[in-house]
């Protein structure tokens, strides 16, 4: 059994019949989750006989790193391989004393957004808790020494809220190193998943991929909108409980001559009115192979769209994606070795 996907409490319970004294279980868990042990042999203050017993019945197996692609902006895209040969990508984005790690939740994506390469490649399997935690460990270990603060975003491959069982278990482990307020779950609008998040006793932040201000256009580029209509999605978002100081993040991919007009910005402002929120405006990352008819707006159009939203009193960030030169930007992850 791989212990990477287990919380410290779960590890202590699992080891009850293996350890000689109860504190040993907590000690082993501390080595795994606080001291980043890769093998039981590293646990120098654990008796050798216990280390041997642990190695016989349990593992600390991490995914294999098949490739690292380093961008000109300092971001790194990782290609990970699991024991069954499934491959998936993640992205590390250091920025001085802080870093953001972009984690995946599935090996593909069945949601099928028409501007996303992962969606174009189709569905894959759900990642296991130990795989998601393993990706975090591997990327965290590679960060520069000056990085003291790490944020996690589940914005990589897959739809996190279609894998809530494994995601919930992974979050339980990740919370031992990273505060929930520094973890963001991004969804294309899976309403039952949003309701699941709302019921958690410790909630990460919620990000909703919006991308159009009305049902018809959202449905064109995000087929999931047929199952979860925009009005029902917005009702679920309005009902989502927010701790003091928290906001919902709305992600809005700007596509030239589709959703990038000043009039569209006014419609977005009206749609989210009254919701404590911020909007991440993301100029489309073009991919001629997978969506040849979609183009990135001009910088002027991006500025006009963002300025219009700000003028309505909304909090807006324009996010020019990092890692585009190594296909590590938003919507570009393939999880393939090409």
- The tens digit of pLDDT for each residue in 188-216 reads 999 999 999 999 999 999 999 999 999 99
Give a yes or no: residue 201 inside a domain. yes
**pLDDT digit string, tens, across residues 249-299:** 999 999 999 999 999 999 999 999 999 999 999 999 887 788 889 999 999
Q: Is residue 113 annotated as part of the catalytic site, yes or no?
A: no
175 in the same domain as 320: yes
Round the average pLDDT of the chain to a whole number and report it: 93
Q: Mark whether 96 and 233 lie in a shared domain.
A: yes
Pick the catalytic residue from 102, 113, 116, 330: 330
Check 89, 131, 251, 286 and give the catalytic one. 89
pLDDT band, very low/low/confident/very high, at 175 (cuts 50, 70, 90):
very high
Do 43 and 69 fall within a single domain? Answer: no
**Assigned domain for 333 exists:** no
Query: pLDDT grade, residue 338 (50/70/90)?
Result: very low
Q: Specify whether 146 is catalytic.
A: no
Instruction: Please check whether residues 23 and 156 belong to one and the same domain.
Output: no
pLDDT higher than 80, residue 116: yes
Q: Edge-to-edge strands of the sheet including 76-81?
A: 64-70, 76-81, 87-95, 98-102, 149-154, 183-187, 205-209, 248-254, 277-283, 315-318
User: 205 and 80: one domain?
Assistant: yes
Tally of structural domains, the chain: 2
pLDDT of res. 285:
87
pLDDT at 325: 57
User: Is pLDDT at 148 greater than 70 in this prediction?
Assistant: yes
Report CA-CA distances (Å) from 11 to 23, 31, 255, 330.
11, 11, 47, 35
Q: 53: closest CA among 28, 35, 26?
A: 28
Answer whether residue 151 is part of any domain: yes
* CATH number where 37 lies: 1.10.150.530
Q: How far apart are CA 244 and CA 238, in angstroms?
A: 15
The answer to whether position 193 is within a domain reads yes
91: its two tokens: 């992205």
**335 versus 65: which is more confidently predicted?**
65
Residues 6 or more apart whose Cβ sits within 8 Å of residue 172: 7
Q: What is the DSSP letter of 106?
A: B
Residue (of 241, 240, 253) closest to 302 by Cα position:
253
- 332 inside domain: no
Return the SS3 of 97. coil
Cα→Cα distances 41→33, 34, 137, Å: 15, 16, 18
The answer, yes or no, to whether residue 146 has pLDDT greater than 90, is yes
Q: How confident is the model at residue 218 (pLDDT cuts 50, 70, 90)?
A: very high
Supply the DSSP symbol for 4: G
102 and 7 fall within a common domain:
no
Whether 150 and 247 map to the same domain: the answer is yes
Count of CB atoms situated within 10 Å of the CB of 22: 11
Give the CA distances from residue 116 to residues 55, 287, 325, in Å, rounded to whole numbers and listed in that order. 42, 9, 16
Domain that holds residue 168: 64-326
Whether 154 and 9 share a structural domain: no
């Amino acid at each position: 059994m791989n212990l990477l996907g287990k919380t410290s409490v779960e590890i202590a319970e699992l080891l009850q019949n293996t350890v000689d004294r109860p504190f040993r279980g907590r000690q082993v868990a501390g080595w795994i989750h606080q001291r980043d042990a890769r093998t039981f042999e590293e646990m120098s203050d654990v008796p050798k006989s216990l280390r041997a017993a642990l190695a016989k019945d349990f593992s600390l197996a991490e995914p294999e790193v098949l490739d690292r692609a380093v961008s000109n902006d300092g971001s790194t895209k990782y290609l990970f391989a699991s024991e069954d040969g499934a491959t998936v990508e993640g992205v590390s984005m250091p920025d001085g004393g802080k870093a953001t790690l972009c984690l995946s939740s599935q090996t593909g994506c069945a949601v099928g957004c028409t501007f996303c390469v992962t969606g174009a490649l189709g569905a894959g399997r759900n990642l296991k808790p130990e795989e998601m935690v393993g990706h975090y460990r591997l990327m965290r270990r590679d960060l520069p020494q000056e990085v003291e603060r790490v944020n996690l975003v589940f914005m990589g491959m897959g739809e996190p809220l279609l894998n809530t069982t494994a995601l919930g278990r992974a979050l339980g482990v990740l919370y031992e190193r990273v505060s929930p307020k520094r973890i963001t779950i991004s969804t294309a609008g899976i309403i039952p998943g949003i309701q699941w998040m709302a019921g958690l006793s410790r909630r990460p932040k919620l990000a909703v991929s919006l991308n159009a201000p009305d049902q018809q256009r959202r449905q064109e580029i995000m087929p999931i909108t047929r199952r979860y209509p925009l009005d029902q999605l917005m009702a679920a978002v309005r009902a989502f409980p927010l701790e003091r100081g928290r906001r919902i993040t709305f992600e809005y991919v700007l596509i030239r001559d589709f959703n990038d007009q000043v009039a569209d910005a006014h419609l977005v402002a009206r749609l989210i009115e009254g919701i404590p929120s911020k909007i991440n405006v993301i100029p489309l990352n073009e991919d001629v192979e997978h969506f040849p008819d979609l183009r990135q707006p001009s910088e002027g159009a991006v500025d006009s769209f963002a300025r219009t939203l700000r003028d309505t009193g909304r909090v807006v960030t324009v996010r020019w994606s990092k890692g585009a030169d190594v296909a590590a930007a938003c919507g570009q992850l393939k999880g393939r070795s090409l």
